[in-house]
Structure 1
């Protein structure tokens, strides 16, 4: 009997092609399910983008429904070369005259010129912060809370190494070495401005004389002990300013809270005017930022729900009732209004016009004019009607809608969970159908293998009969 080498060889049928086509028919439901699953995943992705856009819109609406953002103030200086100003929380709107009589400065002393490589002399330097008084010699009052710092100087230390030791000592002063044609000098200055941040430097000189100008004592400065080996080239002093003719003294050149919430950074002496008023630019930016976020959301919803007649293509959420309802709710809030806004009842009253696509365009001239009535704008956007929530300010309603639809039980969360559940169900069904298809293919191969065997036997028998018949015919 003939041996079957491959399926179909016994019967002569194109078995592999037959099986392939039969299995393909069996697997068609799998292909259909996978296509529907891909569509569901596209819808889930679209809802993810919509949720993100809703969150961005919610954040922008929050800025328009937060009282502090409507109370923001701005300050201007009549001469920014003389002083710059910043208005903070609590600033009072108004105009202030400012007269700068004296700037705050740090004390600075400089040594005599010497070689940069020569040792300065061994001993101990003591640096102490405090305030210099008047008189001859001047008095020195140690700064409260500060402690004198001792610095050990070796016989091999130069100006540069002394500088480094001073700067690493946390003594409240900074040192540098300045070199010119005459030699190198040690310059020591207060780390902070103000009279209380003056300093004196005393020395315990290894040569036994702490008051001469040689050895380490050449770097001493203590007029209270009649020692001035170093020369003072700038005295520690406070800033002295008059604000509305009231004397203000500050250890720094930044005058903080002399007027509530107002910061004045003085740069030079002279007179100027500081004006504090409502920060209309920041309010306008919050409004236009919201328009951008809102339009982005509306465009996203429109693109995902529309049907393009030209391309014959439908958006991922075309016909989806949840997405269509979200569009409707947004349009209703935006086209609605509130009686709380005084002279402004609707967005169009302040130059925010709603187009046919549901997006907002800004009439800059009209909006700028409306900013002259900030209190009315504030109420239109963030007012709360305790008796009728539908009459709340528009930003308040926008924010409430965004909180609702993106919440744990919100429309977007619920719809996304429903779509994901269908994806999970489809995937489970695909696994079941895949197993069934594999079993079906296995049965087909077994059946066609059995057919091949039978056909091979029949072919062998037919061949045998033919031979016998031929032999009989030949004998006759």
Structure 2
């Protein structure tokens, strides 16, 4: 039989050992966890969408940049060539395809620099050759309108070899060498080419060699006052003169990088009256290869977009960008490439004319039979259509078309940018929701802690009463016995 005392003890929870801290934590977790899980799930999905949007844009960039890089190579644009390399040789410069070819060039004269030769050393010590003394002091070397550079000769470098080394180390573009032959020893100076790059070598100070009488003054030379000089001018500085498509042009060197865009022209010899043709050879890689590579790369991009937007049977296997209108717009604009005009006239104006068609999933198919027939009919027209030497709004070429599509898709206020902005804003909002939930749960925990602290106080009072009642019940029970 249950005693009155045991019933009261059970009702008051005496000895129950209630862990109010654990109880509060459990209640807070029960309230927080479902709400937090909803927010974090949305965060995960939103982060995946931001990543997928960025990946789609990056993949588009990769595709367009790769296509530009591919078509800028000589394999698809041809190699620049000269029909007489002994007069003029050409090569492509990095950064683009040479434009303005074919062209006619005539080399009227080559660029030249001043060449000076000192008189032969006839002193008694001439047998010493390059080691023969030259005297000590300082010469002043100047090129064109540049600053004069001191050439100092001391006892440490008092020789033809020492003088040549000092001039070479001056860093002004003048090359010095020592010639020793059956006639004796001479110093030769060669200045940079170009009419504006004449050289002068004047004496700033000179002390004749005590033993040989050698004096630096013997090497002095100036185009303004060569009279009496022991130095002979073997050549006169001059600019190269060419006729390019009938227009006379002058250059300080025989290597010209600016006459024709992206083309280096090397002048090898003067040939007045002889016209040399500069042109581009046929591409070594066919347009057929280009179309195959383009379709494969396009399909790789489209398949990735299809995966990202797949509907799936439920949310667990649907694409992360399922239902995203920006990606649908991106796919739509890409699909229009096959029907966009690459030329305003001619037998072939679009990619579809070359055998390219769109499949139901947005990928492309290439009918190589149609393409081969088109190439056989007019290979130059196909090259001009896909990779024109000079691009224009009406003949952008394949790379130009891809750039145009990319610009439209990635425009500042376009759907892709708007979607990216939308998801980034949502990410900030979800972060704020988590922060708000943390604040709410902190307040809730504090509220529960106060409630259960008050309960503990009351429970202590109840236990004191319980102890008193227990004693009374014990007395009553004893009295009854």
1:351-366 correspondence to structure 2 within 5 Å? 352=356, 354=358, 357-360=361-364, 366=372
Distance change >3 Å, CA 185–CA 196, structure 1 → 2: farther
**Residue of structure 1 in register with 2:380 after alignment:** 372
The reply to whether residue 120 of structure 1 matches residue 134 of structure 2 is: yes
Counterpart-to-counterpart distance in 2, 1:303 and 1:202: 78
Q: In 1, are the aligned partners of 2:99 and 2:260 still within 8 Å (CA)?
A: no
C-alpha distance in structure 2 between counterparts of 1:458 and 1:434, whole Å: 35
Contact 1:172-1:192 within 8 A present in 2 as well: yes
- Provide the residue aligned with 2:27 in structure 1: 22
Q: CA deviation at 1:450?
A: 3.1
From the superposition, tell whether residues 274 and 415 of structure 1 become closer, same or farther in structure 2 (CA, over 3 Å): same
Cα distance, 1:32 vs structure 2: 0.8
Partner of 1:31: 37
Q: Does 1:439 align with 2:443?
A: yes
Report 1:244-283 matches (<5 A).
Answer: 252-254=253-255, 264-267=265-268, 274-277=277-280, 280=283
In structure 1, the partner of 2:189 is: 189
2:61–2:406 contact (8 Å) kept in structure 1: yes
Structure 1 residues 231 and 459: CA distance shift in structure 2, 3 A: same
**Retained in 1: the 8 A contact 2:113–2:235?**
yes
Give a deviation string over 1:15-60, Cα, whole Å, max 9, x none. Answer: 4454333222211112211211221122122212223344556667
The answer to whether the aligner puts 1:50 opposite 2:56 as a matched pair is yes
Are 1:426 and 2:430 an aligned pair?
A: yes
Distance 2:80 2:199 in 1: 37
Report the CA distance between 1:269 and its aligned residue: 9.5
Contact 1:256–1:262 at 8 Å: present in 2 too?
Answer: yes
| 1:158 shift after superposition | 1.6
SS state of the match for residue 420, structure 1?
A: helix
Deviates more, 1:158-167 or 1:421-430: 158-167
Q: CA deviation at 1:320?
A: 2.2
Alignment partners' CA distance in 2, 1:425 and 1:148: 69
Deviations 1:171-198 (A, max 9, x none): 7633356899x9x977432132479977
Contact residue 125 and residue 152 of structure 1 kept, 8 A: yes
**TM-score computed with the length of structure 2 as normaliser:** 0.64
The answer to whether the 8 A contact 1:91-1:262 is kept is no
Q: Is the 8 A contact 1:93 1:277 kept in 2?
A: yes
Partner of 1:93: 102
Partner of 1:132: none
Q: Which residue of 2 aligns with 1:107?
A: 115
Q: Which of 406, 409, 415 is matched with 1:411 structurally?
A: 415
Distance 2:48 2:418 in 1: 16
> Could you give the per-residue CA deviations for residues 180-218 of structure 1, whole angstroms, max 9, x where no partner exists?
9x9x97743213247997767676864599xx9844356
Counterpart Cα distance in 1 of 2:452 and 2:196:
105
Question: Is the partner of 1:175 in helix, strand or coil?
Answer: strand
Stretch moving more, 321-330 or 251-260? 251-260
Could you tell me how far apart the structure 1 residues matched to 2:420 and 2:261 are? 51
- Retained in 2: the 8 A contact 1:56–1:293? no
Change (3 A) 1:345 1:225: closer
Q: TM-score, normalised by structure 1?
A: 0.65
Q: 1:323 Cα deviation (Å)? A: 1.7
CA RMSD of aligned residues (A): 5.8
Say if 1:64 and 1:395, in contact at 8 Å, map to a contact too.
no
Structure 1 pair 360/274, CA: closer, same or farther in 2 (3 Å)? farther
CA shift at 1:243, angstroms? 8.9
Q: Cα 1:360–1:77, aligned 2, differ >3 Å: closer, same or farther?
A: farther
Structure 2 unaligned blocks of 5 or more: 1-12
Q: Deviations over 1:272-309 (max 9, x none)?
A: 97551377569969978866774554244223112578
Counterpart check, 1:76 vs 2:77: no
Shift of 1:85: 1.1
Helix, strand or coil at the partner of 2:347 = coil
Query: Mind listing any 5+ residue stretches in structure 1 that lack a counterpart?
Result: 1-7, 130-142, 386-390
Distance in 2 separating the partners of 1:395 and 1:249: 35
Report the Cα offset of residue 220 of structure 1.
6.2
Aligned to 1:303, the other structure's residue is in SS state: helix
In the alignment, which residue of structure 1 is the partner of 2:7? none
Distance 1:198-1:408 versus aligned 2 partners, 3 A rule? closer
Looking at structure 2, the residues matched to 240 and 452 of structure 1 have their Cα atoms a distance apart, in angstroms, of 104
Instruction: For residue 313 of structure 1, give the secondary structure of its aligned residue in structure 2.
Output: coil
Contact 1:77 1:84 in 2 (8 A): yes
Distance, in Å, in 1 between the alignment partners of 2:330 and 2:447 is 52
Counterpart residue number, 1:139: none
Matches of 1:189 and 1:429 in 2, distance apart? 80
Residues in 2 aligned to 1:173 and 1:274: alpha-carbon distance in whole angstroms: 34
